[in-house]
C-alpha cells in the first residue's frame, strides 16, 4: 500500500497538474505528499567555453573566469530560483492542507532526473508532469527528464499531461508480460478504491497470439475488484489510446516494457509511445 506520494514540480502548468493529481490520489488512498522542487544546477552554474580548435574529434573545455557583473548575474539567478521554489512549495502546502492531506516539501539543487529518482525511493509512487518549464523548447511531446524517469524511476511513475479531479475509469492494456502482471498487482494492492470502472484491454495483434487473461480475471475476482474485458484487433498501444478516448477514461495503467517492435524501439518503449499520445494521466509500473 502506498503511504507516501513523491511529486516533482517546477511550477510549470503540467507539473502542477501532476501535483493536483497527486493530492487527489493521496486523499483517496489516505497517503501523504512529499513535494520536491529541484533547482536545476545547469541554470545556475557558470558556463564553460569550448575552444574552436578541435583535436581528436573533441573540443577543448576551457573555464573563463567571469567578470564581476557576470558572477553577480548567476548569483542573483540562483537566489531568484530558490525564492520561486519556496513560493511554489508554499502554495502547494496550502492546497494540500486544504484537502486534508499530510504534506512535506523539500527544495534541492541538482539535476532533476537524478534527484527525483533519489527522492522517489522514500515513497511508493512518483508523480510528475509530462513536460516541465522548458516545454516551449521541447524535443518531443514528452520532456527529456520525464523520458529518463520512465526508464530509470525506482518506483511506479504517474505522468500527468492534465489533471483529472475524479478518476472514474481506468484502462489497462494487458500484453501478458511480467511488467503487466506487476502493474495489475500494484493496482490491486493499493489503488483499487480510486476508480469505479476498470477495463482490461487485450489486442489481437498481427502475428501475435492474444494473451490469456483467465488467471488475471481470477486474481481480480479473489480480491473483489470488478473488471470489464475489452478485446480488439490491432496494435495494443494504439487500441489503448482509442479505447481511453471512446469511454472517456481518466487514467491508463501499464507495464514499463512491452514487445520489442520497431515502433516501440523508436519511441523507447510501449510506455513512452502511450505517453506521447495520451491525454490522460498514465501510471507506469516496472
CATH number of residue 246's parent domain: 3.40.50.620
* DSSP labels, 157-179: EEEESS--SS--EEEEE--S-HH
Q: Of the candidates 278, 254, 50, which has an alpha carbon nearest to the alpha carbon of residue 164?
A: 278
Question: Are 64 and 14 in a shared domain?
Answer: no
Q: Of the candidates 276, 33, 285, 28, which has an alpha carbon nearest to the alpha carbon of residue 167?
A: 28
Among the listed ranges 59-63, 74-78, 182-186, 281-285, which one has the minimum average pLDDT value? 59-63
Question: Are 56 and 141 in a shared domain?
Answer: no
Q: Of the candidates 94, 91, 102, which has an alpha carbon nearest to the alpha carbon of residue 30?
A: 102
- Under 8 Å between Cβ of 195 and 251: yes
Helix, strand or coil, per DSSP, at residue 281:
coil
| Residue that finishes a domain, picked among 103, 133, 160 | 160
Question: Are 201 and 251 in a shared domain?
Answer: yes
Question: Are 173 and 133 in a shared domain?
Answer: no
Helix, strand or coil, per DSSP, at residue 119:
helix
Residues 6+ apart with CB under 8 A from 282: 158, 159, 251, 252, 253, 254, 271, 274, 275
Higher pLDDT, 257 or 41: 41
- Provide the pLDDT for residue 159: 96
For the chain, the domain total comes to: 3
Q: What is the pLDDT of residues 26-79, one digit of tens each?
A: 999 999 999 999 999 888 876 655 555 545 555 555 555 566 777 788 889 999
Q: What is the pLDDT of residues 188-241, one digit of tens each?
A: 999 988 999 999 999 988 767 778 899 999 999 999 999 999 999 999 999 999
Residues 6+ apart with CB under 8 A from 249: 169, 170, 171, 199, 243, 280
Q: How far apart are CA 212 and CA 230, in angstroms?
A: 13
Q: How far apart are CA 239 and CA 49, in angstroms?
A: 49
> How does residue 139 score in pLDDT terms, banded at 50, 70 and 90?
very low
| Residue that finishes a domain, picked among 52, 76, 100 | 76
Question: Are 36 and 129 in a shared domain?
Answer: yes
What is the span of the domain harbouring residue 261? 169-285
- Residue 9: count other Cβ atoms within 10 Å of its Cβ: 27
Q: Can you tell me which residue has the cell 564553460?
A: 48
Question: Are 11 and 30 in a shared domain?
Answer: yes
* H helix or E strand, kind and range, residue 117: helix 112-120
Question: Are 113 and 209 in a shared domain?
Answer: no
Question: Are 220 and 276 in a shared domain?
Answer: yes
Question: Are 128 and 191 in a shared domain?
Answer: no
DSSP 268: S
Q: Of the candidates 236, 190, 185, which has an alpha carbon nearest to the alpha carbon of residue 210?
A: 236
Question: Are 21 and 152 in a shared domain?
Answer: yes
Question: Are 195 and 255 in a shared domain?
Answer: yes
Q: What is the dihedral of CA 217, 153, 133, 26, to 10 degrees?
A: 50
Question: Are 88 and 71 in a shared domain?
Answer: no
Amino acid at each position: 500500500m502506498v503511504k507516501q506520494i513523491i511529486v516533482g514540480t517546477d511550477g510549470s502548468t503540467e507539473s502542477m497538474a501532476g501535483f493536483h493529481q497527486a493530492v487527489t490520489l493521496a486523499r483517496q488512498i489516505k497517503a501523504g505528499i512529499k513535494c520536491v522542487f529541484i533547482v536545476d544546477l545547469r541554470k545556475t552554474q557558470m558556463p564553460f567555453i569550448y575552444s574552436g580548435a578541435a583535436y581528436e574529434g573533441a573540443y577543448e573545455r576551457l573555464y573563463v573566469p567571469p567578470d564581476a557583473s557576470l558572477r553577480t548575474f548567476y548569483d542573483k539567478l540562483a537566489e531568484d530560483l530558490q525564492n520561486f521554489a519556496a513560493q511554489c512549495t508554499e502554495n502547494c502546502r496550502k492546497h494540500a492542507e486544504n484537502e486534508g492531506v499530510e504534506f512535506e516539501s523539500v527544495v534541492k539543487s541538482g539535476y532533476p532526473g537524478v534527484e527525483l529518482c533519489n527522492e522517489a525511493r522514500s515513497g511508493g509512487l512518483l508523480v510528475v508532469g509530462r513536460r516541465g518549464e522548458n516545454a516551449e523548447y521541447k524535443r518531443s511531446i514528452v520532456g527529456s527528464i520525464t523520458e529518463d524517469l520512465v526508464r530509470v524511476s525506482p518506483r511506479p511513475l504517474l505522468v500527468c499531461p492534465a489533471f483529472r479531479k475524479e478518476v472514474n475509469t481506468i484502462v489497462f492494456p494487458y500484453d501478458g508480460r511480467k511488467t503487466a502482471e506487476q502493474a495489475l498487482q500494484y493496482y490491486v494492492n493499493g489503488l483499487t478504491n480510486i476508480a469505479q470502472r476498470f477495463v482490461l484491454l487485450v489486442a489481437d495483434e498481427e502475428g501475435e497470439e492474444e494473451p490469456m487473461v483467465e488467471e488475471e480475471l481470477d486474481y481480480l475476482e479473489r480480491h473483489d475488484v470488478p473488471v470489464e474485458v475489452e478485446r480488439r484487433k490491432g496494435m495494443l498501444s494504439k487500441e489503448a489510446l482509442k479505447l481511453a478516448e471512446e469511454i472517456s477514461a481518466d487514467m491508463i495503467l501499464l507495464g514499463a516494457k512491452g514487445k520489442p517492435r520497431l515502433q516501440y524501439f523508436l519511441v523507447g518503449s510501449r510506455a513512452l509511445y502511450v505517453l506521447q499520445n495520451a491525454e490522460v494521466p498514465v501510471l507506469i509500473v516496472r
